[in-house]
Structures are given as structure tokens and as C-alpha cells.
């Protein structure tokens, strides 16, 4: 199914951007701790984000908010996000000092 792989690739690109932003702000440890602790509840977290979506969209322009909520519902994506945060924090990128 090409649609699902495209969606997975898009979700992973979005999560990688989030991981890069977290690492740039030096919030690696709190983010990993939070994500590891919420991993069993990732589906509920995604559903809660979907519930808040109308309110979020009223306040800010949250173009990626719904895509993030959809991605967070899957535990595999939470684990992917943790791995990407750790990767960016380790300085393994080409842009590292």
C-alpha cells in the first residue's frame, strides 16, 4: 500500500523535525523521560490531542497539530521519536559542532 508508506514517511519526517527542535533546546532528558513514561498510553494521548484540536486551532495556527496527534497514537512512532531525539542529542548529525 503506497499510501500508508507515504504517510509513515511523512510522520517520521515530522517526528524528526520535532526531535531536532527538542535537541536544539537541550530538552533531551525531560523529553525522553516523558515519552518513555507515556509510551503505554500513547493511544490515549493521541486521542486527547484530537479532542483538544478544535480549541488549539481557534487559538493558534497549528497546521501540523493533527498530524502529530495521529503519529503519537502509535507506540512505534513514540519509540522512533525517542531514538531520533537521542540521535540528535548525541551530535551524530552533519551539522554538529
At 57-92, the pLDDT tens digits run 999 878 889 889 999 999 999 999 999 999 999 987
Assess if residue 94 is contained within a domain.
no
Query: What's the confidence (pLDDT) of residue 91?
Result: 85
Assess if residue 9 is contained within a domain.
yes
> pLDDT for 29-66, tens place per residue?
999 999 999 999 999 999 999 999 999 999 987 888 98
In the three-class reduction of DSSP (H, G, I as helix; E, B as strand; rest coil), residue 31 is classed as: helix
Residue 15: burial class (beta carbons within 10 Å; 0-12, 13-18, 19+) = buried
Query: Predicted confidence band at 3 (pLDDT cuts at 50, 70, 90)?
Result: low
The C-alpha R_g of the chain, in whole angstroms, comes to 14
Query: What's the confidence (pLDDT) of residue 64?
Result: 87
Residue 6: burial class (beta carbons within 10 Å; 0-12, 13-18, 19+) = exposed
Is 70 exceeded by the pLDDT of residue 2?
Answer: no
Assess if residue 40 is contained within a domain.
yes
Assess if residue 77 is contained within a domain.
yes
Give the count of domains, the chain.
Answer: 1
Assess if residue 96 is contained within a domain.
no
Structural domain boundaries enclosing 32? 2-89
Is 70 exceeded by the pLDDT of residue 96?
Answer: no
Q: From the CB of residue 40, how many other CB atoms can be counted at a distance below 10 Å? A: 10
Amino acid at each position: 500500500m503506497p499510501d500508508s508508506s507515504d504517510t509513515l514517511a511523512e510522520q517520521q519526517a515530522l517526528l524528526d523535525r520535532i526531535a531536532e527542535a527538542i535537541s536544539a533546546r537541550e530538552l533531551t532528558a525531560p523529553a525522553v523521560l516523558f515519552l518513555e513514561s507515556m509510551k503505554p498510553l500513547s493511544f490515549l494521548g493521541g486521542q486527547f490531542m484530537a479532542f483538544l484540536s478544535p480549541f488549539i486551532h481557534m487559538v493558534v495556527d497549528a497546521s501540523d497539530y493533527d498530524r502529530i496527534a495521529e503519529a503519537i497514537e502509535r507506540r512505534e512512532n513514540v519509540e522512533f521519536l525517542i531514538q531520533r531525539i537521542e540521535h540528535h542529542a548525541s551530535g551524530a548529525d552533519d551539522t554538529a559542532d
